[in-house]
């Protein structure tokens, strides 16, 4: 892996490796941005009771402290990715960090529920600018097969650590300081990352002078946001309610219009159809949709099992998941060395085998299970499976993409994963609730039966991912 900026070849397009600093600095920037974006999706969960007490949230309004962030994070990612290609990766990183930091400051100082929800919506939009830009930077700066694989392993591990650190960090900060510092701590971190971005990346953008596809941006972003909003409503209103069916139908119609616009009418489409001619992009994004549900089954529902069945508090549950998080980080970094030698298929198939075994074991847990044999053992298997699978699939979904489309490909991959997670959570939660209801309601035994069904469904999703993995290119492209 080189440590100095690449020198452009004579006659090369103005778009090139967008860096001026050493690769360790660029990798630190990409991983820190990903860590912060994912961390803030989870860190507020433990603080919700304190937030409700201090700001006077209603029971129906409180979930939007979480959902507001997730909605704009997933809904604006496609737009953020294309904007990174058209306006420059450094520019979008700095803009995203600025919006994220400013909205964090507003959230930390919020004196009313409406202000905090608005701040969380803006935070999610900032994260949607960050995430695809970091993927684009990795894709363009790390062009060697082995270096690129290692970079994706580190980036994936940073996101995994961010997700798992949320419960522990949220509990510690809320207990030791105040829930407000969950947001305020982002301000100095964001400022430091802005400086790092300015020092390590150049201000280049694509050599093309394409206008932003406004019709595609509106239909695509509004369609994703409406679809995800409707799915989020399913937990409170049920799938047949107008609160769910209306937004979901509107979202699907808008996404259908987006597809027509992009394939037939747009001169410079926001989502170029040519990307789906790359097998890794098409197959990888389909796998990421499924993978979102697998990740939710692991991190979200095992936390609920630890709390609602085994009686742990939120901080203990976070600590109980720490060994799995460490396993994921270690395996993801080691797994990054495999695809350049073996191709994507062997790591994906091996990872899916671990996922099926781990979820099958988790599905045997019950109220009498102890932590070591009921949770620790199977979650270590699942975490190792995720560590093998996720960075490999993410790399495959963005490989072989022209440099000028790197941000778009990153936005698409992140959108697929986030949308899959949102839909997966809603479907799995509905299944768990229905199963628990048939077993007697909200007793620990009934809840355990619902969670066990979720783990079996996750094993089925893992088998589907393995089947799709057989369609990946034999050797990674790019």
Task: List Cα–Cα distances, 331 to 97, 303, 373, 382, 441, in angstroms.
Answer: 29, 21, 21, 11, 38
User: What is the residue-averaged pLDDT of the chain?
Assistant: 81
CB 342 within 8 A of CB 388: no
Does residue 8 register a pLDDT over 50? no
Domain ranges of the chain: 19-202, 275-478
pLDDT value at residue 207:
46
Q: Considering only CA atoms, which of 400, 401, 398 is closest in space to residue 417? A: 398
pLDDT value at residue 418:
79
The token duo for 232 is 């989020």
Q: Kindly compute the dihedral angle of the four CA atoms of residues 257, 262, 266, 271, in this order, to the nearest 10 degrees.
A: 130
For range 359-375, the mean pLDDT: 91
Does residue 267 register a pLDDT over 90? no
pLDDT in tens, 282-306: 898 899 989 888 887 787 788 888 8
Same fold? 19-202, 275-478: yes
For range 362-379, the mean pLDDT: 91
Instruction: Assign domain 275-478 to a CATH class.
Output: mainly alpha
The token duo for 168 is 């522990």
pTM of the model: 0.76
pLDDT in tens, 155-174: 777 777 777 677 677 777 77
Is residue 20 very low, low, confident or very high in pLDDT (cuts 50, 70, 90)?
low
Q: What number does CATH give the domain 19-202? A: 1.20.1250.20
- Which of 59-68, 254-263, 288-297, 371-380 has the least mean pLDDT? 59-68
CB 327 within 8 A of CB 376: no
C-alpha–C-alpha distance, residues 376 and 322, integer Å: 10
pLDDT value at residue 232:
75
For range 247-270, the mean pLDDT: 86
């Amino acid at each position: 892996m080189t440590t100095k900026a690449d020198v452009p070849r004579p006659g090369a397009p103005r778009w090139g490796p967008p860096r001026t600093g050493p690769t360790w600095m660029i990798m630190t920037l990409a991983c820190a941005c990903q860590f912060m974006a994912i961390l803030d999706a989870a860190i507020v969960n433990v603080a919700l009771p304190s937030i409700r007490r201090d700001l006077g949230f209603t029971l129906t309004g409180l979930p939007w402290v979480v959902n507001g962030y997730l909605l704009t994070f997933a809904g604006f990612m496609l737009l953020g990715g294309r904007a990174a290609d058209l306006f420059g990766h450094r520019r979008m990183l700095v803009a995203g960090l600025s919006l994220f930091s400013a909205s964090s400051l507003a959230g930390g100082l919020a004196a009313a529920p409406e202000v905090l929800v608005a701040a969380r919506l803006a935070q999610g939009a900032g994260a949607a600018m960050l995430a695809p830009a970091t993927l684009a930077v990795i894709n363009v700066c790390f062009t060697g097969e082995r270096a690129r694989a290692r970079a994706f392993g580190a980036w994936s591990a940073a996101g995994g650590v961010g997700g798992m650190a949320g419960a522990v960090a949220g509990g510690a900060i809320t207990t030791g300081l105040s829930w407000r510092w969950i947001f305020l701590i982002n301000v100095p971190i964001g400022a430091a990352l802005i400086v790092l971005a300015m020092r390590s990346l150049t201000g280049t953008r694509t050599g093309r002078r394409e206008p932003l596809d406004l019709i595609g941006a509106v239909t695509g972003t509004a369609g994703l946001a409406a679809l995800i909003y409707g799915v989020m409503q399913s937990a409170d209103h049920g799938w047949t309610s107008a609160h769910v069916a209306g937004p979901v139908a509107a979202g699907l119609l808008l996404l259908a219009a987006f597809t027509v616009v992009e394939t037939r009418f747009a001169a410079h489409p926001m989502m170029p159809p040519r990307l789906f001619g790359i097998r890794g992009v098409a197959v990888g994004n389909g796998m990421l949709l499924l993978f979102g549900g697998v990740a939710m089954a692991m991190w979200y529902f095992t936390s609920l099992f630890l709390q609602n069945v085994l009686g742990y508090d939120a901080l203990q549950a976070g600590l109980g998941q720490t060994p799995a998080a460490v396993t994921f980080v270690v395996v993801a970094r080691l797994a990054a060395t495999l695809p350049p030698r073996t191709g994507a298929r062997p790591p994906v198939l091996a990872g899916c085998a671990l996922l099926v075994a781990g979820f099958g074991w988790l599905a045997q847990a019950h109220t009498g299970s102890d932590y070591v044999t009921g949770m620790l053992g199977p979650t270590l298997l699942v975490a190792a499976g995720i560590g093998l699978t996720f960075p490999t699939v993410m790399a495959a979904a963005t490989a072989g993409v022209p440099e000028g489309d790197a941000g778009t490909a990153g936005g698409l991959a992140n959108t697929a994963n986030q949308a899959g997670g949102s839909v997966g959570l809603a479907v799995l939660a509905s299944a768990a609730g229905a199963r628990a209801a048939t077993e007697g309601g909200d007793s620990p035994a009934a809840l355990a039966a619902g969670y066990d069904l979720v783990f079996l469904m996750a094993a089925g999703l893992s088998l589907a991912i393995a089947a799709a993995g057989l369609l990946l290119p034999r050797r990674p492209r790019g």
